[in-house]
Each structure stands twice: as structure tokens, then as C-alpha cells.
Structure 1
Amino acid sequence: MTQVNKTKTDSIKNAMPLTAVTKAVSGMDRKISTTASPMKKWLGFTMIMLIVAFAAYMIANKSTGKVLSVDNSRIVVSQVTSGIFEDFIPIRGRVTPAKTVYLDAIEGGRVEKILVEDGANLTAGNLIVELSSASLQLSALGNETRVAEQLNNMRTIELNLEQNRLQHKRNIIDIKHQIKLLTRQVKRSQSLIATGAITKTQVEDSEDTLIWYKDRLALTLESQQSDARMQGEQLAFLKDTSTRLESNLAISRQNLDNMNIKAPVAGILSGFNVEVGQSIARGERLGQIDTPNDYKLTAFIDEFYLGRVDIGQTANYKNYSLVIAKVYPQVQNGQFEVDFKFVTEQPKGIRRGQTIQIKLTLGDASEAMLIPNGAFYQDTGGKWLFVVSADGSQAMKRNVRLGRRNNQFIEVIEGLELGEQVVTSPYSSYQDMQRLNFQ
């Protein structure tokens, strides 16, 4: 059935003229007119504008980074200026004695008597405190007795050696005398043999006795030389031993004398706090003696300046000049210690432990671009700044290079122009920002 209808329709189309078909179609597709509401037009236009504005905002934020709006009253704005940069840093130094001698107990004991008080002005040799130690006294007496006995024994040995030497001399004198008598007797006997007054046997006996004495003399002389050499060596050893024993005895006596603690130098006694009856251990510190009216300054400097501080650099306190005398190599808690000494005279009225403000000169003054020293430096390390725009409505982050700094100004090396304004207040809340908008 469908195929038959389709065939009929195709035959009708083929039979109808083209114009008739066109009219039939146009009569079927009539245009229907609609009227749009003005409210809908404006609503669509507004949505398109919002989308464009949001896209522009996102593009702007992407190109300029993070933005923060800040209150003008919460920031400090400073201007880049030109001036003389004085290369110094302020330092707070502590007054300490230029020379300190510590009082330590050489020998321990019990405090028997205190002769001075803390803060006393002492001269060298003044007695400060007396100690007592029964065991040390007994030990010293025992050592003295033993040393005395050994010295007496050595004196006895020396006396025996001297007597032996003198005995050798007497023997030699006796032998020589006998040789002289026998020589004279032999000569007389030989002249009497011819007369028959004396027998030949008697003469031979005298000659034999003379030879015996001569041999004895040679042996005695040899023995005397050997004994003299050995006695000399022994006497030298005994004298050396005697010197050591006497030195030991002196040390033993000195230990007893050390129980009386005296001032080794002149100065002011400080840190002295002992009581009568108190037991003091060997090596225990009793106090110290500070040189009077002679002070130095001890200061701690930030390790940032470690490479720029050296011995011989000058500093000033009011009208008084100081110089660095010692730089300690240890760095503790980000600081290192330095000792200053006064060049000519020192201020009157300063006291130990007092702190005073001084200026340490690091280099010569020179012309430079400057910005005020602010808290921003601790946050940025001097590597970047917020630079205020010409209209003052915002500040942009900019990389800069800063140089020397003191407590008032920081030297600008590059990145800023004269007359520009920068934010010098703390950056702790702006670390990740690229731009600040001022309200």
C-alpha cells in the first residue's frame, strides 16, 4: 500500500508544473513573528559585561601576582635621598676591669680569720684571710723532719770523705819522711861497710826497707788519686741531692705559708664572700682583684659584621676614643665578643658592670643614595622592596641591591632612583604579595 501511494505521489509531482509546486510549498511555510522583552535584553547584556569584567580581573591578577589592600596609617613610606653615609654601627658595651687576678685557695683548710671585706682597696702582699689545716701541718712537720735527717746523713758522709782525704795526706807525709830517713841511712851505711863497722846484711836490709817505702808511696799516691776522683763525683751528687732536699723543705714550708692568703697585686677585692669556720677546698675560688681605675669595654656584635671587624679599629664614646684590643673567634647565639680599650684617658665615674653606648667605625664616610633604616630589612634581607607608584595609590615589589647600613640609613647600590618612595615598615604580612593597594 505504501509503495503504491509513493508511486502515485511521484507521478503527480512529475505531472505538476514546477511553479505550482513552489506555490504549494510557500503556502505551507509561513513566517511567525515574535516580540522580545527589553528586560531580557538588558539582563543578557549585563551578564556578558560581568563575564568580561571577571575575565579582565583574572587576567590582571595573573599578570601582576597577589594583591593586598592595606591601610595607609599602618605603613611607613620613606623617600630615596642623597647624602653622606657614615659607616658605623652602634654598640652597647659593658664596663669590665682591664686586668683581673683571681684568688684561688692553693691549699684547702678551715677559715680561721678574715682580715678584709669585699670591696677593699688592697696593696700587693696584704693578708686577706688565714686558713688552717692540721693534716697539712703534720705533713709539713714530718717532711721537715725527714729532710733534716737526710741532710744530717749527707753531712756525715761528707765529713767521712773529708777525713779519708786527710788520712791519705798524712800517710803520704809519713811515707815520704821514712823514705828520706832511710835514704840518708843507706848512704851512711855504705860508707861504713869498708871500715867493718857495719855488716853488709844490715845495709841490704836498709835498702830493702827503702824500696818497700818507695813502692808503698807509689801505691798510696795512686789510691789517693782514685779516691779523690770518686770523692769528687760523690760530693757533687751529695750537693745536688742536698739542694733538692732543701728545695723540698722550702716547698713544704711554702705550703704552710699558703694557708695565709695574700693579695698578689694591688687592686680592689670583689666577689669575696667567706665566713669564719667555713671549709675551703683546694683550688676553690675565693674572689678576685680588679685593677683600680683601669677599665675596658666588652661588647657583643651581630655575626653579620664578623668579616668587617678587626683589631685596631676605632670607636667613640662621647669625646673618648677606643680601639679594638681583642676579637674572640667564637660565635654564640648569632653574636661574637669584642674587647675595647681606651686610647688615652677613660671617663671618670664609670663603674664595673655599667653599660654605655659607643659607635664603632667600619669605614670612611662617602656620598651615596640613602633610605632610612627600617624593620623591612629583617624580612627581606635587603634584596627587594615595595616601591610606591607616582600617584601614591599602590606599591609594587621590586628587586634592589642594598649595601652598607648603620642605625639611621641604608646605602642604595642599584634598583632605586633618587626621589622614589619606598615602604620601610615591617613586611611580615606582605612576604608573598606582589602589589599593595593603599586604601
Structure 2
Amino acid sequence: MMIGAALLILLIVFVVIATSGKSRLNVDMERISISEVASGVFQENISVTGNVLPITTFYLDALEGGIVEEIFVEDGAIMKQNDPILRLSNTDLELSLVNQETSVYNLLTQMQISQNAARQNTINKLNRMTDVENALVEAERKYLLGKKLFEAEAIGSQEFKESQNNYTYQKQRMELAREVLQQDSISVRQEANQSKSLLARTQSALELMRKKVGDLIVRAPADGQLTSLDAEIGQSKNKGDRLGQLDVLSGYKVRVDIDEHYISRIYTGQIGTFTFNGETYKLIIKKVFTQVTSGRFQVDMQFEGDVPEGIRRGQSLQIRLALSEEKQAIMVSKGGFFQQTGGNWIFKLSDDGKTAYRTTIQLGSQNTTYYEVLEGLNPGDKVVTSSYDNFGDKEELILK
């Protein structure tokens, strides 16, 4: 019993000693990742995916409805500006054009008839004006002659008075004839202006109708490549239906999807970089689409400097988009440790490299490669950056 009691006491002492102090775990160094804390240039960035698109895309919509009667080119064809792509037929529109042309021709005929009548009326008034002028001249001659004879007492007052009254009458006729001719001139001018205005409106309507009929032939709006052509012979197309698109091949842009979490930090002018065939290229944000769909929004980026040779429409690019300016900072490599620690602590190796113990840290910004270290680590420190899933709540690791 004494021996048993002694053994029990020894067991209790052993358990107390074994469980006292820090909890430890033996770890194979080949199963973990060890990184060295460094000091250098740090820039916050995120990794995003972009798709290469033509610099400009023209959508080809049916400006007028109709039946597809003829297709001049195939999908993928290289087009020049104004080259015909397809032709629609619309008999109602073509008939309206014929009716509009007939209306213009009828209006021109009526204008010619009106102008001829106006000219004839003016000629008649001018003839009457000539007669009045001649009568006035004759009345004036008789009046002046009668005045001299009356003063010489060669004729009586009755005869002189008659010539005087006739002269006064012819002068009034002359004034009236001039007024009539002036009013006729104004009336003819107004009628001509109205006719010209009506003709201009009718011709404008005719030109618009001709344009609508001309729009039945769908043409290339610019030089480029025809893509997504959606038309078959005999197919009915309504006004506004999408017929295809034309991609301008003079350059490319990159359409990028970004998580809405960063929408307040994205603006035009920001720079992104990507690697293509071993070379690094720059992109710059030119347009931000603030509409959020399924938790993401889009931006358009254009190449800054050289465009990679061999890049193609629809190609995907992995882009590092900068969110801040470059600065000097202490950095630690990104790794699986963050999922368990939330960046609040990390296993730091001892000076001899045989153990690693918990160290409280504070992290700041991040990029695709590093976390910014604000507190707890110094350049040259070595830390475990791989996952801590198998470490449990151990406070110290024995490295073997």
C-alpha cells in the first residue's frame, strides 16, 4: 500500500509538471512554410480578371422593319465604312416614297401654274399702268396749254376748268395705279415665299422618306470586323432588332469585373499591371460603370504604352490593380495562417530556429503577395505562414 501510494503521488506530480507551462506540438518543418519578414516598397493592390474587347463596338440595329432579302457578306468579314451588309425589303415604305415623290411633283406643277398666273396678272397691271401714265401725260399737256390760253383770254374758263379737272383726275388714277402695282408686288413676293417654304418642307419630307428607304440597306458604320451577324434570307426583322455588331480593330480595351466592396476606392486613372508572354504591361482605368450587378461592377481599362503582340478579342487577363501609392513598409508573405488568426497573431521562430511561438501582431493593408505589418514583427524575423489548421490551440511548435 505504501508503494502504491508513492507511485500515485509520483504520477500526480508527473501529470502536473507535464501539463504546466505552454502547450507544445511537434511539427515537421517540411510540412510548413516559413517566410522571412522583409522591409521594402509596398503597394496595396487586388487581383482582378479582365476580358479583351475591341476599343470600339458598333451595334447594328434595324432602323426600319422588313424582310431580309439579300445578305452581301458573311459573319467575320472585314468591312470598310459604308460597305453594304444586307438588304431588307419593305413594300409599304417603298410605296410611301412613291406617293411622296408624286406629291412633290404635283406641288411643283401647281407652283408653276400659280407663278404663270401671277406673272400674267402683273403684266396686265403694268399695261394698265402704261395707259394711266399716257392719259396723265396727255391731261397735263392739255392743262398747261389751256392755262396759257386762258391767261391770254383765248378760251373761256369753262374749257380751262375741264382740262384742269381732267388733269387732277389722271394724277389720282396714277397714284392709285402705283399703289395697286406695289400691293401686287408684295402679294406676289409673299405667295412666292409661301410656295418656296411649302416646297422646302415637302422636299425635306421626301428626303427623309428616301433616307428611310435607304436604311433598308444596312451598311458598315466604320472600318472593322463584322461579328455576331444574326440574319437569314426571308427572315422578318422588326424596327430596332439587333442584326449584329462591328468591332473596330484599331485597338483594344479590357473590361474588368470588380467586387462591389472596392467600389468606393476605384476611380479613373488608376493603374493595373499584367504579365503576357513573360513581359509586364500597364493598363489604366478610363471609365467606371457604377451599376452593381450580382455584387460586382465593371470598369474599362486601356493599354498604357505598348500593346502585347498577339493579344486577341475575348482573351482573359489576370490583372493586379493598384489601390494606393507605393510606400516603404514592413511586409510578411500572405499565407493560410490568416484564416485561423485573422491577422492578430502568428508563429514566430526563435533565434535558433528550433521552435516557434505565438506572437501578437497587427496587420494593415494587403496586396496579392504581402500583408503590411504595423506592429509585432521586424525585418529579418522568420514566421510560419502556412495553414494552422492542424495546430489547434498550441502555443509553441517544436520544429524538427
TM-score by length of 2: 0.80
Query: Matches of residues 118-157 of structure 1 in structure 2 within 5 Å?
Result: 118-157=75-114
Deviation at 1:412, TM superposition (A): 0.8
1:385 aligns with 2:348: no
Deviation at 1:322, TM superposition (A): 3.1
Query: Matches of residues 190-339 of structure 1 in structure 2 within 5 Å?
Result: 190-191=147-148, 201-316=158-273, 317=275, 318-339=279-300
Higher Rg: 1
Residue type matched to 1:347 in 2?
Answer: P
In the alignment, the residues of structure 2 paired with residue 250 and residue 379 of structure 1 have an alpha-carbon distance, to the nearest angstrom, of: 74
Three-state SS of the structure 1 residue aligned to 2:307 is: coil
Deviation at 1:259, TM superposition (A): 0.9
Aligned to 1:84: 40
Aligned to 1:340: 301
Pair 194,337 (structure 1): closer, same or farther in 2 beyond 3 Å: closer
Pair 418,159 (structure 1): closer, same or farther in 2 beyond 3 Å: same
Q: Which runs of 5+ in 2 are unaligned?
A: none
Q: Is the 8 A contact 1:121 1:267 kept in 2?
A: yes
In the alignment, the residues of structure 1 paired with residue 122 and residue 26 of structure 2 have an alpha-carbon distance, to the nearest angstrom, of: 112
In the alignment, the residues of structure 1 paired with residue 121 and residue 343 of structure 2 have an alpha-carbon distance, to the nearest angstrom, of: 97
Deviation at 1:122, TM superposition (A): 0.9
Pair 192,293 (structure 1): closer, same or farther in 2 beyond 3 Å: closer
Deviation at 1:133, TM superposition (A): 0.8
Pair 401,150 (structure 1): closer, same or farther in 2 beyond 3 Å: farther
Query: Matches of residues 99-110 of structure 1 in structure 2 within 5 Å?
Result: 99-110=56-67
Three-state SS of the structure 2 residue aligned to 1:106 is: coil
In the alignment, the residues of structure 2 paired with residue 186 and residue 355 of structure 1 have an alpha-carbon distance, to the nearest angstrom, of: 108
**Relative to total residues, which structure has the larger helix share, 1 or 2?**
1
Q: Is the 8 A contact 2:48 2:320 kept in 1?
A: yes
**Relative to total residues, which structure has the larger strand share, 1 or 2?**
2
Residue type matched to 1:348 in 2?
Answer: E
Q: Which runs of 5+ in 1 are unaligned?
A: 1-36
Residue type matched to 1:339 in 2?
Answer: D
Pair 334,184 (structure 1): closer, same or farther in 2 beyond 3 Å: same
In the alignment, the residues of structure 2 paired with residue 151 and residue 186 of structure 1 have an alpha-carbon distance, to the nearest angstrom, of: 52
1:424 aligns with 2:385: yes
Pair 221,303 (structure 1): closer, same or farther in 2 beyond 3 Å: same
Deviation at 1:186, TM superposition (A): 2.6
Pair 104,407 (structure 1): closer, same or farther in 2 beyond 3 Å: same
Aligned identity (percent) is 31
Q: Is the 8 A contact 2:79 2:220 kept in 1?
A: yes
Pair 251,319 (structure 1): closer, same or farther in 2 beyond 3 Å: same
In the alignment, the residues of structure 1 paired with residue 30 and residue 190 of structure 2 have an alpha-carbon distance, to the nearest angstrom, of: 96
Q: Is the 8 A contact 1:151 1:245 kept in 2?
A: no
Deviation at 1:209, TM superposition (A): 2.7
Residue type matched to 1:84 in 2?
Answer: G
Pair 140,45 (structure 1): closer, same or farther in 2 beyond 3 Å: same
Aligned to 1:11: none
Residue type matched to 1:264 in 2?
Answer: P
In the alignment, the residues of structure 2 paired with residue 421 and residue 165 of structure 1 have an alpha-carbon distance, to the nearest angstrom, of: 111
Residue type matched to 1:387 in 2?
Answer: F
Deviation at 1:344, TM superposition (A): 3.8
Residue type matched to 1:368 in 2?
Answer: A
Three-state SS of the structure 1 residue aligned to 2:249 is: coil
Q: Is the 8 A contact 1:397 1:434 kept in 2?
A: no
Residues 99-151 of structure 1: per-residue CA shift (max 9 Å, x gap): 11111111111111111111111111111111111111112222222343334
Three-state SS of the structure 2 residue aligned to 1:98 is: strand
Residue type matched to 1:103 in 2?
Answer: L
TM-score by length of 1: 0.74
In the alignment, the residues of structure 2 paired with residue 429 and residue 247 of structure 1 have an alpha-carbon distance, to the nearest angstrom, of: 83
Residues 381-407 of structure 1: per-residue CA shift (max 9 Å, x gap): x54233347486675473x33233222
Aligned to 2:316: 355
Three-state SS of the structure 2 residue aligned to 1:144 is: helix
Q: Pick from 72, 97, 100 the counterpart of residue 115 of structure 1.
A: 72
Deviation at 1:166, TM superposition (A): 4.3
1:411 aligns with 2:372: yes
Residue type matched to 2:344 in 1?
Answer: W
In the alignment, the residues of structure 2 paired with residue 360 and residue 288 of structure 1 have an alpha-carbon distance, to the nearest angstrom, of: 30
Q: Is the 8 A contact 1:84 1:365 kept in 2?
A: no
Deviation at 1:175, TM superposition (A): 1.4
Residues 181-232 of structure 1: per-residue CA shift (max 9 Å, x gap): 1111233344556899877555444433322221122223233344444544
Pair 74,277 (structure 1): closer, same or farther in 2 beyond 3 Å: farther
